[in-house]
Amino acid sequence: MNRPAIFSRSSLSRRHLLAGTAFGAAALAAPAILRAQPAPVKIGLLHPVTGFLAFSGQQCREGALLAIEAINAAGGIKSLGGAKLEPVLGDAQSKPEVGAAEVEKMNEAGVAAIVGAYASAISLATTQSAARYGIPHIVDVGVSDQIVQRGLTNTFRFCPGYGVIAKIAIDNLVALNDAAGKPARTVAIVHEESLFGTGTAQLLQKELPARGFEVVEVAKHANPTRDFTNVVLKLKALAPDIVIPANYYNEYVLLARTMRQQGVRPKAIYSVLGGAASSFKFVKEFPDDAAYIMDCNHWYDPRKAEALELRRKAEAKGLYYTYEVFLAHEAVRLLADALERAGSASRERIVEALATSSWDGHFMPYGPTRFVNGQNEGARPVNTQVLNGTIEVIFPAEFASARPVFPMPRA
Amino acid sequence: MLEPSILAASLIHGLANGAVYALVALGLSLVYGVLHIINFAHGALLMAALYAVYFLVERVGLDPYAAIPILVPAAGVVGYLLHRYVVAKASRGREEAVLLVTLGVALVLENLALALFRSDTRTIETGWAFEMVAVGPALLPAAKLAAAAGALVAVLALWAVVRATDLGRAIRAVAKEREAARLVGIDVDHVFALAFAIGTATLGAAACLLLPTYYVSPQVGHGFVLIAFTIVVLGGMGSFWGAFWGGLLIGVVESLGGLFLGESLGQIGIFAIFIATLLLRPTGLFGRAV
C-alpha cells in the first residue's frame, strides 16, 4: 500500500527536477525525505484464524490491522523518522503447537514484536517461544493468569486475567443479588474444556461458596460441541437460580439457544467471559436467545470518542464490534506507544519501553498502563447486559448506560 | 433428583442419535457379514462423505437432504471401485491383508483431508436445523428428528434390498458359502464389491443426515468407527437386526451416560458394554456361535 505512493511521488519530483521549475526547492527536498524513508517495523500478528476459534481469531486480526492502518496513516512511528508498521500475519490454526511454530517463522522474518494470540492455551505457547528469541509479545486477549506468572520478561498483557475478572464478576453478582433482595442462591457452571474455561470454573467454584452461593453443578464440555441437550436437561432437573457459562462463541450460542428451547429459565444467565454474551453478532442473529443475558467481560469505555469511532470504522468494514477487535486494536497501539518511546526497533529496547509504559491514550476503562510482571495492573472487566436488542453497560456505576434487569422476566 | 420426564427426554434423544449410529453400523456389519473383513476405512469414508455434503451445501448451495440422491449413488460407486481396484487387488484375497489395506486407505484419506482442508472444524448453518420439535416429553432439534427418520427409512430400504432382490439373495448366498455361490454362477468378486459399495452408500446417506446437527473435521470418523464397532460386536458380527437394535441401545446408553456422568465421562458406558459383551456373550445379542 505504501509502495505505489512512494514511487509516484518520486517520479513526480524527478520530473519537476528535470523541468527545473519554480518547485525546485520543494522537489529537491522531497527525494531527500524519500531516501531517508526509514525501514518499516515488522509486527507479527499471530491469531487462530482457522480452526474452531476462526471467528474470534479473524476478529482479532482485523482489529490489529485497523490499528496498523490508522498508525501508518497518521505518519507512522515519529521517533523512528515516520517508520511504518508492517504486519506479518500468522495463523495458529486454533492449536498451541502451531502457534509456537508460527513464532519461529516470525522470528526468521525479523519481527520486532508479536501481538496475539487470542486463546489462553495458544498464548502460553507463543509467549514462551517468543521468549527464546527475546521477542516482545503483547497478549491481546488470553485470560489465563499462568501467562504472566512464568517470569517471562518479554510477555505483556494489556487486558485483565481471569483472576481479576472472576473476582469482579463475583463482587458484582453479589451486589446485584443483594440489591434485588437475594433471590438467587444456587449456581450451575457450564464451561469449555481448555485452559480458559477450566481455570475460570475452578476460580468460581472456589470463591462462590464463600460468598453465600451453592454450586450445584459444574458441567464441562468439549470443543466443538454440537449438542447441549444432556447438559440442558440436567440444568432443567437441578433448576439452578443462576447459570454461569464460560466458553467460546459457537458453544455459547448453542447452549443459550438450547436452554431457551428446552424451557430452562434461570433467574439469570450470568456469564464470566461468555464467548457470545457481549457480542453484537449474537444479539443481532438470535435476539430472543440473547435477551437479558449478563456478562462480565472485556469492554471499552463508552465515554471515549475513539472507542465509538473504531466501532464505526469496524462496522463500515462489515465487522461486528466485538472485544477481539478492540482489544487487539489497543494492543497494537500499546506497542506503537512503546516503539515511539524506545526510539528503536530493537527487541530489548521495546521490552524496556513496555515494562516502563504508562500509556493513557487507550479507550479501555483501565487508567494509565502499569506493568507488574508483565500484567497491566489497572486492567479490569465491565459488566454488560443485553437489553432491548443492544448491549448495555450495567457495572461499574461510573459509566453504566442502563440499570440491570434481575431476575430476568419469565417467558 | 431426576424427574421421569427428563429421563424420558434423554432416552428419546438417545434413540434419535442411535438411529443414525445404527445406519453407520449396518454398513460396517454388512461388509463384515459378506466379505468377512473388518473395514477400518469405514470412519474415514464417512468423513469423506461429510466433506462431500459440506461442499455441496456451501459451494453448490444444495440443501443437505437434497444431496442424498446424489451422494448415495456416488458413495456407492466410490465403494465399488475402492474394493474392486484397491482393497481386493492389494490384499490378494488374504483376509488379514485386507485389514491392513483398509487401515492404509483410512490413513491416506485422513491425511489427504488434513492436507486439503487442514484440521478445521466445519459446520453448515441451515437456519431451521436447531428449531425444536416436541416428541412426547422430549424436545428434539428438527434436523435430529429428520436424521432419525431418514436413518430408519434407509435401514428399511437396505433390509428390503437384502431380503427381496436378486442382489440381496446373491449377497446372502456369498455370505453363507462363497464357493457354492461361485458354483451356481454368482460372480463372487462382483458381489463382494457390490456389498462394499452398499456399505459405503449407507455412509453417503448417514453423512447427509448427520451434518446439519454435526460437524466435519479430518478426525471426525474416529468417534463413529469406535461406536460402530461396538454396535456390531454387541449386535453380533454380521447380524442385520443386531446392528439396528445395537445402534439404538448404544445411543440410549450414551445419552443417559452423558446425563448422569457428564459429557466427558458419558461414553464410558459404551465401552463397558463392549467389554461386557466380549466377556459374557462374544457372539453378540443376535449372533450365532460359529
Minimum distance, in Å, between the CA of residue A266 and any CA atom of chain B:
17
Q: What is residue B34's predicted lDDT score, i.e. its pLDDT?
A: 85
Q: Does residue A118 sit in the same domain as residue A213?
A: no
Under a CB-based contact definition with an 8 Å cutoff, are residues A286 and A256 in contact? yes
Q: Does residue A267 sit in the same domain as residue A372?
A: no
Minimum distance, in Å, between the CA of residue A315 and any CA atom of chain B:
23
- β-pair partners for A330: none
Residues of B in contact with A53 (CB under 8 A): none
Q: What is residue B237's predicted lDDT score, i.e. its pLDDT?
A: 85
Report the interhelical angle of A162-179 vs A195-210 (nearest 10°): 40
Residues of B in contact with A262 (CB under 8 A): 132, 139
- In a domain, residue A188? The reply is yes
Q: Which domain holds residue A21?
A: 2-34
Q: If we measure between CA atoms, which residue out of A140, A150, A143, A113 comes closest to residue A352?
A: A113
Residues of B in contact with A50 (CB under 8 A): 118, 120
A402/A225: higher pLDDT: A402
Asked if A219 lies within 8 A of B9 by C-beta distance, the reply is no
Q: What is residue B288's predicted lDDT score, i.e. its pLDDT?
A: 62
* Every domain of chain B and the residues it spans: 4-280
Q: Does residue A371 sit in the same domain as residue A247?
A: no
Give burial (CB, 10 Å; 0-12/13-18/19+) of A282. buried
Q: What is the mean pLDDT of residues B79-90?
A: 92
- In a domain, residue A73? The reply is yes
pTM of structure? 0.79
- Considering only CB atoms, which residues of chain A are within 8 Å of chain B? 50-52, 54, 93-95, 193, 219-222, 224-227, 229-231, 233-234, 236-238, 250, 254, 257-258, 261-263
Minimum distance, in Å, between the CA of residue A158 and any CA atom of chain B:
29
Q: What is residue A22's predicted lDDT score, i.e. its pLDDT?
A: 42
Asked if B9 lies within 8 A of A254 by C-beta distance, the reply is no
- Looking at the predicted structure, is the pLDDT value of residue A221 above 80? yes
- β-pair partners for B209: none
Asked if B120 lies within 8 A of A221 by C-beta distance, the reply is no
The sheet carrying A41-47 orders its strands as A85-91, A41-47, A113-116, A137-139, A155-157, A375-376, A371-372
Q: Quick one: pLDDT band at residue A7, thresholds 50, 70, 90? A: very low
Q: Does residue A56 sit in the same domain as residue A83?
A: yes
Mutate to test the interface with B, among A233, A248, A260, A264 (most CBs of B within 10 A): A233
Q: Does residue A255 sit in the same domain as residue A348?
A: no
Nearest CA in chain A to B262: A219
Q: What is residue A411's predicted lDDT score, i.e. its pLDDT?
A: 58
Nearest CA in chain A to B257: A230
Asked if A233 lies within 8 A of B120 by C-beta distance, the reply is no
Q: What is residue A357's predicted lDDT score, i.e. its pLDDT?
A: 95
Spatial neighbors of B89 by CB under 8 A, at least 6 apart, are none
DSSP B132: E
Q: Does residue A315 sit in the same domain as residue A196?
A: no
- Looking at the predicted structure, is the pLDDT value of residue A24 above 50? no
Chain-centroid distance, C-alpha B126: 23
B97/A48: higher pLDDT: A48
Q: Does residue A247 sit in the same domain as residue A309?
A: no
Of residues A93, A222, A258, nearest to B263 (C-beta): A222
Mutate to test the interface with B, among A230, A231, A254 (most CBs of B within 10 A): A230
Q: Does residue A111 sit in the same domain as residue A211?
A: no
- In a domain, residue A182? The reply is yes
Going through B11-90 in order, the beta strands assigned E by DSSP cover none
- Looking at the predicted structure, is the pLDDT value of residue B41 above 80? yes
CATH of the domain at A123: 3.40.50.2300
- Other CB atoms within 10 A of residue B24 CB: 30
Q: Determine the Cα–Cα distance for residues A56 and A196; give it in Å rounded to an integer.
A: 14
Asked if A95 lies within 8 A of B10 by C-beta distance, the reply is no
Q: Does residue A274 sit in the same domain as residue A390?
A: yes
Q: What is the mean pLDDT of residues A167-196?
A: 95
Q: Determine the Cα–Cα distance for residues B184 and B41; give it in Å rounded to an integer.
A: 32
Spatial neighbors of B230 by CB under 8 A, at least 6 apart, are B246, B250, B270, B271, B273, B274
CATH architecture of the domain covering B4-280: Orthogonal Bundle (1.10)
Q: What is residue A27's predicted lDDT score, i.e. its pLDDT?
A: 42
Q: Determine the Cα–Cα distance for residues A140 and A123; give it in Å rounded to an integer.
A: 9
Write out pLDDT tens, residues B117-175. Answer: 877 778 887 777 777 888 888 888 888 999 999 999 999 999 999 999 999 999 999 98
Q: What is residue A2's predicted lDDT score, i.e. its pLDDT?
A: 42
Q: Does residue A107 sit in the same domain as residue A69?
A: yes
Q: What is the mean pLDDT of residues A388-396?
A: 94
Asked if A261 lies within 8 A of B9 by C-beta distance, the reply is no
- In a domain, residue A146? The reply is yes
Our count of domains for chain A comes to 3
Q: Does residue A217 sit in the same domain as residue A359?
A: no
- In a domain, residue A405? The reply is no
Write out pLDDT tens, residues B176-227. Answer: 888 999 999 999 999 999 999 999 999 999 999 999 988 898 889 988 988 9
- Other CB atoms within 10 A of residue A390 CB: 15
Averaged confidence pLDDT in chain B: 89
Averaged confidence pLDDT in chain A: 89
Q: Does residue A62 sit in the same domain as residue A151?
A: yes
Q: What is residue A114's predicted lDDT score, i.e. its pLDDT?
A: 98
Looking at chain B, the whole-number percentage of residues with pLDDT higher than 90 is 57
- In a domain, residue A7? The reply is yes
Q: What is residue B33's predicted lDDT score, i.e. its pLDDT?
A: 86
Q: What is residue B96's predicted lDDT score, i.e. its pLDDT?
A: 80
- In a domain, residue A193? The reply is yes
- What burial letters (b/e) apply to A173-199, b meaning 16+ CB within 10 Å? bbebbeeeeeebebbbbbbbbbbbbbb
Give the DSSP per-residue string, A75-128: TSBGGGTSBPEEEEEEE-TT-HHHHHHHHHHHHHHT-SEEEE-SSHHHHHHHHH
- In a domain, residue A25? The reply is yes
B160/B1: higher pLDDT: B160
- Looking at the predicted structure, is the pLDDT value of residue B65 above 60? yes
Dihedral Cα A207, A213, A219, A222, nearest 10 deg:
-40
Q: What is residue B25's predicted lDDT score, i.e. its pLDDT?
A: 95
Give burial (CB, 10 Å; 0-12/13-18/19+) of A1. exposed
Residue A403 half-sphere exposure toward CB, CA atoms < 13 A: 4
Residues of B in contact with A264 (CB under 8 A): none
Between residues 155 and 214 of chain B, which touch chain A (CB distance below 8 Å)? 213-214
Q: What is residue B135's predicted lDDT score, i.e. its pLDDT?
A: 86
Q: Determine the Cα–Cα distance for residues B29 and B229; give it in Å rounded to an integer.
A: 9
